[in-house]
Amino acid sequence: MKGMLSILFVLSLVLSTSSAHAADSAAGKKLYDTNCSKCHDSSIHTRPDHKIKSFDALDKQLMGCSKGAHVELSDADRANVEQYLNERFYKFK
């Protein structure tokens, strides 16, 4: 019984930690509006020939854009922008 309680305690910590670090779409939108829209508008995400076909491709593109624009994004900031873009435009699962 004591072992089961320990497992449940650890599991609850893991679940609470992962939801505490969930990406924030609203924060991502602010970062996008501040940094990304300097170079392009949102139509780049909706054009028929857009190159982003997966979440990994989105991550790679965002890292490249950040580097090209000389914008330092933390992992959390990048996750927030990706969350915003995915919710707004891409709808990857």
Could you tell me the pLDDT band of residue 56, with boundaries at 50, 70 and 90?
A: very high
Q: Does residue 4 surpass a pLDDT of 70? A: no
84 within some domain: yes
Residue 32's domain comprises 23-90
Q: What are phi and psi of 29, to 5 degrees?
A: -65, -45
66 within some domain: yes
Q: The pTM is what?
A: 0.75
8 within some domain: no
Q: Does residue 57 surpass a pLDDT of 90? A: yes
Q: What are phi and psi of 14, to 5 degrees?
A: -60, -45
Which three-class secondary structure string do you get for the chain?
CHHHHHHHHHHHHHHHHHHHCCCCHHHHHHHHHHHHHHCCCHHHHCCCCCCCCCHHHHHHHHHHHHHHCCCCCCHHHHHHHHHHHHHHHHCCC
18 within some domain: no
Structure token digits, residue 21: 């670090």
12 within some domain: no
Q: How many domains does the chain have?
A: 1
